[in-house]
Structure 1
Amino acid sequence: MTAHTEWTGRLWLGHDYGLIHGVSGRTAPHSHYAHQIILAPERPATVWLEGETVSTSQLLIASNTRHAIIDAPDPLLTVYAEPLMFAAPTLREAVFCAELSLPALDQALRQCPRRSLSDPRIARALAAIDASLTDKVAARAVADTANLSLSQLQRLLVDHVGLPVRRLVLWRRLRMAMASVLAGDAVTIAAHNAGFADSAHFSRSLKKLFGVTARQALQHIELQMLD
């Protein structure tokens, strides 16, 4: 199974979610941190999901679930949402009940309840990571900022965020670089500014997490930043 079709359409990008309306290219098997919802208003899409092939008009792919798009002949509406802020059942209820349009889905997500960060150390750790993305992120420095030992930091992030430090840094760098490319920056500049070693490192990371290259995923997508 190889990714061969470029993604085209519109992306509405918010702080903790993204909405895409357009033709979704076939992907290689992959998993990513974001919850993903696929909505196929015209004909069902065919998706490989952890060893099973399903054809459906509504599908929630929870965070870190291995999957691949096999066939999506018509334009899809796709939701990507940060698991740190959205619980999967709450997200599914909000999206599945909404009208199938970008404005309606945007409104549903704006009104969808967010998860609260019950431990302030998590917020401090995330802020420290985001402040260091353009340079090397030192896990020890992040732990010190959050008043944690290194082992406590790892355990806290895995238990409450769902990712260890290294994978969380990669995810947030990838999100930063993708937004930069969609805003018009060259891939090399976007990759460097987000802390990747080079554009090849960024593209490999994107392929691993989303099953497509930067050219396939980003070149033909129109971006609208949300307030």
Structure 2
Amino acid sequence: MWLSTVLELMDWKGEFYIGETWLVYRGRAADNRPHAHATLQLTVSLGPDISISDQSEQVISGAALCVKAGKRHTLHPSDKAVLVLIEPQSQLARYVQSFAGDDDVSRVDPNLIAQVNWEGELGTLLDSLDLDFGDVGSQMDLRLMEALKFLRTAQLNGAISAAAKSCGLSEPRLRAIAQKQLGVPLSKWLIWQATRRSAQAMAQGTSLAEAAYAGGFADQAHLTRTMGKIMGVTPLQALNAGQ
């Protein structure tokens, strides 16, 4: 387990877990600011229906909602919900998307929700999903997959250019393929990976400065700004909440 803690910050109260290609949060949700993730978002209510506004401010409500990667949205407050952020290149993301609609924000087929005990242990919450069931969509460009493998452990500066060379593509071509197949700019996916590595380092007890270095950030302030933007909490807040 990379990072599991209890949060009571900015009207959020709950617990979260960071895995290899996904992050899950369970508890009270109070994010009412428009934002976009470099990940697909699955939101499941553990009470009344949840609501999310899309970028045109249309409100979609349901027991479970899916937001495509890179799409601007606003999550309405919920007393108890589960939020799962999933990297768009993963088998898990393609599987979840196969149960959702084509809109940026769409309702999720109840058959997916029934496969998971959403009150269970966070670290193994998604283990019950049958990822081999049905058509989860075509595989991604093999050159893109090679580049993503390279970028998973790469430092931020010059990483995309180096990844393009490693898979035999020009940088503009790699960026174009990534945008089409991931649904988000490759630079945002790279920042997600950097933040994930920093979170792993924090869970191992490093200082915030060391965690920033592990992720490839310029300094602790850079990590703090980035993590706050894409996860909603700063590194210091997460550490303090777990004490």
- With the length of structure 1 as denominator, give the TM-score of the two structures: 0.77
1:70 aligns with 2:76: yes
1:161 aligns with 2:182: yes
Distance across 2 between alignment mates of 1:70 and 1:218 = 26
Range with bigger deviation, 166-175 or 96-105: 96-105
| Structure 1: unaligned runs, 5 residues or longer | 223-227
Instruction: Give the corresponding residue for 2:104.
Output: none
Instruction: Give the corresponding residue for 2:152.
Output: 130
Q: Structure 1 residues 163 and 14 mapped into 2: Cα distance closer, same or farther (>3 Å)?
A: same
Structure 1, residues 146-195: CA drift from partner, whole Å, max 9, x if none?
11122222222222223333222212112222333344433332122101
Q: Structure 1 residues 24 and 125 mapped into 2: Cα distance closer, same or farther (>3 Å)?
A: same
1:112 aligns with 2:137: no
SS of match in other structure, 1:19:
strand
Distance across 1 between alignment mates of 2:208 and 2:219 = 9
Alignment of 1:122-201 (within 5 A): 122-133=144-155, 136-201=157-222
SS of match in other structure, 1:122:
helix
Residue type at the aligned position of 1:119: D
Instruction: Give the corresponding residue for 1:102.
Output: 120
Deviation at 1:196, TM superposition (A): 0.9
SS of match in other structure, 1:112:
coil
Asked whether the 8 Å contact 1:9–1:221 carries over to 2, the reply is: no
Asked whether the 8 Å contact 2:29–2:81 carries over to 1, the reply is: yes
Instruction: Give the corresponding residue for 1:18.
Output: 23
Range with bigger deviation, 194-203 or 18-27: 18-27
Instruction: Give the corresponding residue for 2:5.
Output: none
Distance across 2 between alignment mates of 1:166 and 1:195 = 13
Distance across 1 between alignment mates of 2:140 and 2:61 = 38
Distance across 1 between alignment mates of 2:68 and 2:186 = 20
Deviation at 1:37, TM superposition (A): 1.5
Higher RCO by CA contacts (8 Å cutoff, separation 6 or greater): 1
Deviation at 1:46, TM superposition (A): 4.3
SS of match in other structure, 1:78:
strand
Q: Which residue of the other structure, out of 8, 33, 39, is the alignment partner of 2:38?
A: 33
Distance across 2 between alignment mates of 1:22 and 1:221 = 15
Deviation at 1:115, TM superposition (A): 5.8
Asked whether the 8 Å contact 2:70–2:184 carries over to 1, the reply is: no
Distance across 2 between alignment mates of 1:152 and 1:210 = 29
1:60 aligns with 2:66: yes
Deviation at 1:44, TM superposition (A): 3.4
Deviation at 1:198, TM superposition (A): 1.7
Deviation at 1:84, TM superposition (A): 0.8
Distance across 2 between alignment mates of 1:137 and 1:47 = 36
Q: Structure 1 residues 66 and 153 mapped into 2: Cα distance closer, same or farther (>3 Å)?
A: same
Deviation at 1:60, TM superposition (A): 1.4
Q: Structure 1 residues 190 and 6 mapped into 2: Cα distance closer, same or farther (>3 Å)?
A: farther
